[in-house]
Structure 1
Amino acid sequence: MTVREHIITVPLDYSERPTRFSGQTIKLFAYELSPHTRKEHLPWLLYLQGGPGFEAPRPYFVSAWNKPALDSHRVLLLDQRGTGGSAPVTTSNLAKRGGPEEQAEYLALFRQGGHGGADNIVRDCEVVRKLLVSPSSYGGRWALLGQSFGGFCVTSYLSMAPEGVLEAMLTGGLPPGVTMACSADAVYRALHARILRANEKYYKRYPDDVELVTRIVQYLAAQPGGGAPLPDGSVLTPRLFQTLGLNGLGSGGSFERLHFLLESFFDADEEMTPRFAKSFLSWLTWDTNPLYALLHEPIYCQPGGAANWAADRVRNSPPFADLFDAHKAVQENRPVMFTGECVYKFHYEDVACLRPFKETAELLARKSDWGPLYDADKLACNRVPTAAIAYLDDVFVDFNMSQETANRIQGLKLWATNEFRHSGIRDEGHRIFDRLLGLVRNAVFD
């Protein structure tokens, strides 16, 4: 394949009303991939990465999904604003934005929706589309492929600017509660229940890890301050240790990675090994991709809805309060449960790089004047050929809520399966891309 780089200037804030950011711009970065012998007649395909707050994958090689994609499209890997090469938000440059109020106001511009309903990620995409896609090429439209949060963005795109879309494909990314002011509470009730079932499957596969995890929790609880210090200044408390379920229970091969990581915890003197400490930190992305933590719950909020630490409230309410209490599990001689894709208040205490942003996170949690993310009426009248794969056992995006959204998008063809985990596009991308493309291209509309 041939790889080209694109740098495009866009407004920081698209609001029509004056704001403190009016007139400021940011630069977006993207990789264009095309067959080695360029085929200008091929339609463009915009890939939107999961997250929020993660950059597009780097084209080190032709991956499982973009190999077939290059047979039918020119692929654009766009770093969404605030990530990768697109005005990345880091723990160091965010601290320079002023106090918590200024930081929160700035961060609100890096969500799907911004001030006054300005859908910033979609508007960025539209600027890029109009610059790169010739009006003579498929009417100036391009195809969309969204993974996880990228699928949320695709759904916003179908709500806000469907006229720019040729065909749309979503992988594990049908957003829940598109008609709700804030779906976060419902989302986390469903996901906490799902991660419990994933724990049960994990311990069934590795039953000896029940005792090992108990020993680890006992060791951490016995440390001065209730946790073991990590090299970056974080404190590995039992509750932070439980968050290994985020990367250890939801993707292809993750059970094995978690098992082998746990095996490395104790040295010959029953102390935590430097290898485990280093590996634990490498599993987390709070320092390199802080948007993931700071905007994790706001991606579920529309006008009038505030997240108010939904995951934290759900975890600390019946029946989950007891089920996820590591200390109580040890006392009652039952397995310690790992948690899933959640950001809790304690992250801003236990994780060193997040501590300076605790008040900023609090402001974002209380914020309710978000812009709209989805237009249910437009989705109900969708004319863009659209297909989605939803995973029955997904611990990141609840299948039942995904199905509800699928039913609201006219013409969407849903492929429901338990063949893959949430990482299906990475693990079996060729099969998934080919089938979704077949579904959208066979779509028939009146």
Structure 2
Amino acid sequence: MCHYALRLASPMISSPVSICIRGSRSIDALNPLRALSGRLSPTRVSISAMANLEAVHNAGTWYSVPDLSLRDHRFTVPLDYSASSGANIAVFAREVVAVGKEDQQLSYLLYLQGGPGFESPRPTEASGWLKRACEEYRVILLDQRGTGLSTPLTVSSLSQFTTAAEMVEYLQHFRADNIVKDAEFIRKHLVPDFGTWTVLGQSYGGFCAVTYLSFAPEGLKSVLLTGGLPPVGKGCTADVVYKACFEQVVHQNEKYYKRFPQDAKVVCDLVNYLAKAEGGGVPLPSGGILTPKGLQTIGLAGLGSGGGFERLHYMFERVWDPELVPGTGKRISYYFLKAFESWIEFDTNPLYALLHESIYCQGAPSKWSAQKIRSEHENIFDPIGAAKECRPVYFTGEMIFPWIFDEIHALKSLKEAAHLLAEKKDWRPLYDIDRLNNNKVPVAAAVYYEDMYVNFKLAMETAAEIAGIRLWVTNEYMHSGLRDSGHQVFDQLMGMLQGKKPCF
């Protein structure tokens, strides 16, 4: 049985409603953050590939930004933890505390960023959820393997592989299972006496946290999830995920054009212009091409986050250059083309494009699932047909399509590897349903009712599999709630775990 923290605001509800959801299986409702009794049992994560543990951790000196003290940690870990020998990679983590608390005994909190393929935030001051967390925690900001300063896999570094097969062999080690093994390795070097820590997982970071609950729960004191409940069922394939996500994407498009109806004509005019251009599109500043279907991918950044609708609208305000010289004709502005590329970060974070569909794969290939499901909705998502009929052109959401590797210049060299990854069948399991059903770790999760990236229905199905979870269901925030109102979101989840937020 689950209890829900529901917070909904809609035209039919005059004010937000809040209901707490508490799982009944295993959490001590009065004090769920109590220390776990007894000494931790050894982790199930294999560390056979690590010989000289003292030589694999380097800690820097403290430095500061306003109201925060920071220290850098660099670790050497195996690329493949299951191998008795082989290549190593670097993993970077930044330790953050409030100024003056550098030597205090504080509980540890590991932050896992969204993605896949994006590094942890770079703090410039104490603000948002980080400021709130540093009131009681020593925060560890992890650059997940392949990102930031953790042996970053960039377009240029990936060019060192001579064949696509070699690249795929390497990339298969950069999913949530190995991110969790890295986290366990780091915990044993940072947390005194191999103590437990709390994990805060945003979006894909939450997916990783549920993998953590599945395979190394002994390292966890508690878990906080924000928009990060992954689909875990055996029958929950990539196809199931994208079918559900396309429904929410349609809803977000309808909301966008209701908010900015004047943009329907602007986008139709733009699509018609792109369709008539030589080659079916116009050159992008970085060397790629902007086509009608490529334009639709802007929905990935614009439709699902707080302020995204407004940013998208203001970008379309400046889509055309003024005609300074009569007779030169209509042209797309450099401003718009540059803004488009700035929103679509595939060139600087290629891991996202390469591995996104694989985060839903367990023992089966994705086979370009998003493209397949999109083709089933072509009557809705055909941009040229919609523009010719003067219908609103719908944008797509968090989906990677094979033709992206033709249209985004920086990704062209990764095209063959992307196709091999889409056909890869032997992906390892990412979740243990039995472990989740018998979970003993206190878990609190923010579930966003209109989340475009993590489907609400699938998230609730997963919640039912995690014993003791407490849920806060809300449409007060979008998927970016932790970024937009981090202090409030973090405080709500901590209050639920500590019994300070009422359940009714």
Normalising by the smaller structure, the TM-score range is over 0.9
Alignment partner of 1:29 is 2:83: no
Residues 291-326 of structure 1 show CA distances to partners (whole Å, capped at 9, x for unaligned) of 0000000011112x1111000000011xx1110000
Q: Matched residue of 1:96: which SS?
A: coil
Q: Which residue of 2 aligns with 1:65?
A: 129
Matches within 5 A, 1:164-183: 164-176=219-231, 178-180=232-234, 183=237
Alignment partner of 1:196 is 2:255: no
| RMSD between aligned residues | 1.2
Match of 2:274 among 203, 217, 220: 220
Alignment partner of 1:430 is 2:487: yes
Q: Is the CA contact 1:182–1:302 (under 8 Å) kept in the aligned structure 2?
A: no
Which ranges of structure 2 fall in alignment gaps of 5 or more residues? Answer: 1-67, 324-329
Q: Matched residue of 1:220: which SS?
A: helix
Q: Is the CA contact 1:181–1:302 (under 8 Å) kept in the aligned structure 2?
A: no
d(CA) in 2 for partners of 1:164 and 1:356?
39
Q: Matched residue of 1:365: which SS?
A: helix
Q: Which residue of 2 aligns with 1:116?
A: none
d(CA) in 2 for partners of 1:180 and 1:229?
43
Q: Which residue of 1 aligns with 2:42?
A: none
Q: Matched residue of 1:306: which SS?
A: coil
Task: Report the residue type matching 1:159 in the other structure.
Answer: S
Tell me how many residue pairs correspond in the alignment.
Answer: 426
Q: Which residue of 1 aligns with 2:368?
A: 309
Q: Percent identity?
A: 51
Larger RCO, structures 1/2 (Cα 8 Å, 6+ apart): 2
Q: Matched residue of 2:172: which SS?
A: helix
Match of 1:12 among 43, 63, 79: 79
- Shift in Å, 1:433: 0.3
d(CA) in 1 for partners of 2:394 and 2:86?
49
Name segments (4+ residues, structure 1) moved above 6 Å.
Answer: none
Residues 75-124 of structure 1 show CA distances to partners (whole Å, capped at 9, x for unaligned) of 00000000000000011111112211001111111111xxxxxx210000
Task: Report the residue type matching 2:207 in the other structure.
Answer: F
Q: Which residue of 1 aligns with 2:28?
A: none
Q: Which residue of 2 aligns with 1:115?
A: none
Residues 401-429 of structure 1 show CA distances to partners (whole Å, capped at 9, x for unaligned) of 00000110000001101000000000010
Q: Which residue of 2 aligns with 1:102?
A: 166
Q: Which residue of 2 aligns with 1:88?
A: 152
Matches within 5 A, 1:336-347: 336-347=393-404
Q: Which residue of 2 aligns with 1:286?
A: 346
Matches within 5 A, 1:363-402: 363-402=420-459
Residues 117-149 of structure 1 show CA distances to partners (whole Å, capped at 9, x for unaligned) of xx21000000100000012xxx70000000000
Q: Matched residue of 1:71: which SS?
A: coil
Task: Report the residue type matching 1:125 in the other structure.
Answer: A
Residues 236-257 of structure 1 show CA distances to partners (whole Å, capped at 9, x for unaligned) of 0000001111111110101000
Q: Is the CA contact 2:196–2:218 (under 8 Å) kept in the aligned structure 1?
A: yes
Match of 2:179 among 104, 114, 121: 121
d(CA) in 2 for partners of 1:99 and 1:128?
32
Q: Which residue of 1 aligns with 2:332?
A: 272
Q: Is the CA contact 1:89–1:290 (under 8 Å) kept in the aligned structure 2?
A: yes
TM-score (norm 1): 0.94
Task: Report the residue type matching 1:299 in the other structure.
Answer: I
Q: Matched residue of 1:75: which SS?
A: strand
Q: Matched residue of 1:255: which SS?
A: helix
d(CA) in 2 for partners of 1:273 and 1:63?
36
Residues 325-378 of structure 1 show CA distances to partners (whole Å, capped at 9, x for unaligned) of 001112222110011110001101111111111110111001110111000000
Task: Report the residue type matching 1:93 in the other structure.
Answer: S
Residues 45-93 of structure 1 show CA distances to partners (whole Å, capped at 9, x for unaligned) of 0000000000000011113101110111110000000000000001111
Q: Which residue of 1 aligns with 2:476?
A: 419
Residues 248-297 of structure 1 show CA distances to partners (whole Å, capped at 9, x for unaligned) of 11101010000000111101232011111111111111111000000000
Q: Which residue of 1 aligns with 2:191?
A: 133
d(CA) in 2 for partners of 1:385 and 1:165?
9
TM-score (norm 2): 0.83
d(CA) in 1 for partners of 2:307 and 2:382?
26
Which ranges of structure 1 fall in alignment gaps of 5 or more residues? Answer: 113-118
Task: Report the residue type matching 2:166 in the other structure.
Answer: E
Q: Which residue of 1 aligns with 2:262?
A: 208
d(CA) in 2 for partners of 1:51 and 1:181?
23
Q: Matched residue of 2:127: which SS?
A: coil
Q: Which residue of 2 aligns with 1:163?
A: 218
d(CA) in 2 for partners of 1:93 and 1:225?
30
Q: Which residue of 1 aligns with 2:117?
A: 53
More helix as a share of residues: 1
d(CA) in 1 for partners of 2:321 and 2:453?
33
Q: Is the CA contact 2:211–2:430 (under 8 Å) kept in the aligned structure 1?
A: yes
Q: Is the CA contact 1:168–1:440 (under 8 Å) kept in the aligned structure 2?
A: no
Q: Which residue of 1 aligns with 2:387?
A: 330
- Shift in Å, 1:438: 1.5
- Shift in Å, 1:182: 5.6
Alignment partner of 1:404 is 2:461: yes
d(CA) in 1 for partners of 2:77 and 2:450?
39
d(CA) in 2 for partners of 1:352 and 1:160?
39
Q: Is the CA contact 1:148–1:171 (under 8 Å) kept in the aligned structure 2?
A: yes
- Shift in Å, 1:181: 6.1
